[in-house]
Amino acid sequence: MSRTVLMLPGDGIGPEIVSEAEKVLHKVNDQFSLGLRFESGLVGGAAIDETDSPLPDETLEKATRADAILLGAVGGPKWDSLPMAKRPEKGLLGLRSNLELFANLRPAILYPQLASASSLKPEVVSGLDIMIVRELTGGIYFGQPRGVRELESGERQGYNTYAYTESEIRRIGRVAFEAAQQRGKKLCSVDKANVLEVTVLWREIMNDLCREYPDVELSHMYVDNAAMQLVRAPKQFDVIVTGNMFGDILSDEAAMLTGSIGMLPSASLNSEKQGMYEPCHGSAPDIAGQGIANPLATILSAAMMLRYSLNEEKAAEAIEAAVSNVLDQGLRTADIMSEGAKKVSTREMGEAVLAAL
Ligand code: NAD
């Protein structure tokens, strides 16, 4: 059965890093006889320049048909003065909402070889491997009603609505329990059930779901404590599941534990496991076109794609092992450079991963 992967390089360093990840995907496609077919499309600023739209119909059609999407990054100063509806970011948001990508998976992995890149003590973070599962299409960012209104007193009041339905909680819960089953079998659900009714329901549904996953150990933590624990003893976590706003904040905090944004992949999935995979970083216009961007976050995103959308665990593990291997060899792009290591370009890093495969 042939499966299609859509490559969307986007803007800035996007084309440089996606090109390296594409070579890696071609290699494992041959090595493991995966039967993948590759297509490409325009999104973001590159799409605006060609078609006047950040998400052309043709790209959306290809994305809908694809089994998985690998995206570089979008945006840059060239398009910053455009009206909101025409900005490159609208391309990303359009893909997320059209494909109903409600589950955002962000691993924060600190390879022992890079432990000195973190602002925390090496012994606190070395070998860190957490997965944050964030609900992406609901919660307070989307709740209605919302706005700024004038009260009878004449004073203005800003307001938002924090709401989750049972089914929204259940579907993100399932993604998290399944992710925990594929990893260390520990799930921590983060809420604010001492204050917010929404998260009382959240906790109840997570407890309910737990009965279907007897091999996973479920715990609960208030979000304020989770924020502290992430910097105090982050290795206590395996998988964390939480709502949109708490996840937004905690996943950035966890990313920074690793100190190297060029290393962090992410996945956004829908209920059919169709997914969009992208590095956590942006289009880095400051270094675009110089051949010095770190392609590893994008290459690791391709590994996540093989694991979560294409069910090809062995190929995913092979890529992750190859990345670890090139770090062992002391190869570093500028962003993760340290004393005694060998500085390499974007292309050289990609070639080294290919060789290690
Ligand atoms: P950024 O992540 O692009 O860059 C932040 C810093 O990290 C920069 O100094 C950059 O050079 C560096 N960096 C990022 N990725 C790197 C890599 N792979 N290798 C080496 N260094 C890397 O964030 P920003 O500067 O705030 O945003 C730049 C543009 O990217 C903006 O237009 C923003 O809207 C967009 N953006 C897009 C996405 C996305 O496509 N998902 C996410 C965030 C920001």
Catalytic annotation on 248?
yes
Catalytic annotation on 222?
no
CA angle, 163 then 100 then 23, to 5°: 135
pLDDT band at 2 (very low <50, low <70, confident <90, very high): confident
- What is the value of pTM for the model shown? 0.91
Q: Which of 30, 49, 208, 224 is catalytic?
A: 224
Q: Whose CA is nearest to atom 23 of ligand 1?
A: 282
Residue 289: DSSP 8-state: T
Nearest atom within ligand 1 for CA of residue 44: 40
pLDDT in tens, 311-353: 999 999 999 999 999 999 999 999 999 888 999 999 999 999 9
Q: How many CA atoms lie within 13 A of 349 on its CB side?
A: 36
Nearest to 340 by CA among 110, 116, 17: 116
Ligand 1 centre to CA of 60 (Å) is 24
Q: Which of 192, 213, 238, 308 is catalytic?
A: 192
Ligand 1 centre to CA of 254 (Å) is 17
Ligand 1 centre to CA of 275 (Å) is 21
Ligand 1 centre to CA of 262 (Å) is 9
- Identify the residues whose C-beta falls under 6 Å from ligand 1: 13, 73-76, 89, 92, 261-262, 278, 281-287, 293-294, 297, 335
Q: Whose CA is nearest to atom 27 of ligand 1?
A: 282
Asked, colleague to colleague, whether 1-102+269-357 and 129-257 share their fold, the answer is yes
Q: Is the confidence at residue 117, as pLDDT, over 90?
A: no
Residue 149 near residue 156 (C-beta atoms within 8 A): yes
Residue 355 belongs to what H/E stretch? helix 346-356
Domain boundaries, the chain: 1-102+269-357, 129-257
**Ligand 1 pocket, mutate which of 261, 298, 301, 332 (most atoms under 8 A from CB):** 261
- Residue 145: cis peptide before it, omega within 30 degrees of 0: yes
pLDDT in tens, 135-171: 999 999 889 999 999 999 999 999 999 999 999 999 9
The CA distance from 170 to 173, in Å, is 5
235 burial type by CB count under 10 A (0-12 exposed, 13-18 middle, 19+ buried)? middle
Ligand 1 centre to CA of 2 (Å) is 34
Catalytic annotation on 141?
yes
CATH of 129-257, one of 3.40.50.300, 3.30.390.50, 3.40.718.10, 3.90.1310.10: 3.40.718.10
* DSSP string for 168-195: HHHHHHHHHHHHHHHTTSEEEEEE-TTT
pLDDT in tens, 95-109: 998 999 999 999 999
Residue 307 near residue 30 (C-beta atoms within 8 A): no
pLDDT of amino acid 199:
97
pLDDT of amino acid 352:
98
Q: What is the mean pLDDT of the chain?
A: 95
Q: Is the confidence at residue 116, as pLDDT, over 90?
A: no
pLDDT of amino acid 1:
64
* Beta bridge partner(s), residue 331: 342
The alpha carbon of 313 is separated from its chain's Cα centroid by a whole number of angstroms, namely: 18
Alpha helix (H) ranges present in 191-345?
A: 197-210, 223-232, 244-258, 296-308, 313-328
pLDDT of amino acid 252:
86
pLDDT of amino acid 255:
86
Residue 310 near residue 3 (C-beta atoms within 8 A): yes
What is the mean pLDDT of the segment spanning 35-50? 98
Q: Is the confidence at residue 258, as pLDDT, over 90?
A: no
Q: Is the confidence at residue 219, as pLDDT, over 90?
A: yes
Q: Confirm or reject CATH 3.40.718.10 for domain 1-102+269-357, answering yes or no.
A: yes
